[in-house]
């Protein structure tokens, strides 16, 4: 998609701090980190959100999750753990309309409901 910020990042039109790239995925550090380690794993195939997946996308998403956990370990989160987040549509906080997995860690994270 020509107006998608993540498509532009993937194609090198917008700079990013890349941590991984292959034929299917691009991973980069979040510009507004919410934890000491915060990066995104984005499929190169443009899919608007998790809510728009088709059954044929299942293998791709499995590989995305596998890659995300490998990258989490690479970034030092293997011992303490990581949070993997998909924000899906506006009410859930999705602001970029290209599916992506946030990977966060490096400190104890609040559960989002007030408990730690």
Q: Would you kindly state where each structural domain of the chain is located, as residue ranges?
A: 3-103
* Average pLDDT of the chain to the nearest whole number: 93
Task: Find the catalytic residue in 38, 98, 100, 102.
Answer: 100
pLDDT value at residue 110: 82
pLDDT value at residue 9: 95
Is 80 exceeded by the pLDDT of residue 71? yes
Specify the higher pLDDT residue, 2 or 91: 91
Give Cα 25 to chain centroid, integer Å. 10
Is 80 exceeded by the pLDDT of residue 115? no
Q: Which CATH architecture has domain 3-103?
A: 2-Layer Sandwich (3.30)
pLDDT value at residue 1: 58
Q: Model-level pTM?
A: 0.92
CB 101 within 8 A of CB 82: no
Catalytic residue list contains 102: no
pLDDT value at residue 90: 87
B/e letters for 51-73, b = 16+ CB within 10 Å, e = fewer, are: eeeeeebeebbeebeebbeebbe
pLDDT value at residue 113: 60
47 SS3 class: coil
In this predicted model, what pLDDT tens digit does every residue of 4-40 receive, in sequence order? 999 999 999 999 999 999 999 999 999 999 999 999 9
As a whole number of angstroms, the distance between CA 97 and CA 116 comes to 30
Q: Nearest-CA neighbor of 83 among 52, 110, 60, 64?
A: 110
pLDDT value at residue 2: 72
CA 75-107-29 angle, 5° bins: 40
């Amino acid at each position: 998609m020509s107006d998608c910020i993540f498509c532009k990042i993937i194609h090198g039109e917008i700079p990013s701090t890349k941590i991984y790239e292959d034929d299917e995925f691009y991973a980069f550090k979040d510009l507004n980190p919410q934890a000491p380690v915060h990066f995104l794993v984005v499929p190169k195939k443009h899919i608007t959100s998790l809510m728009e997946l088709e059954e044929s996308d299942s293998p791709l998403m499995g590989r995305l999750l596998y890659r995300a956990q490998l990258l989490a370990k690479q970034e030092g989160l293997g011992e303490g753990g990581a949070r993997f987040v998909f924000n899906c549509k506006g009410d859930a906080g999705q602001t970029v309309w290209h599916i992506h997995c946030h990977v966060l860690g490096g400190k104890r994270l609040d559960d989002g409901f007030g408990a730690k």
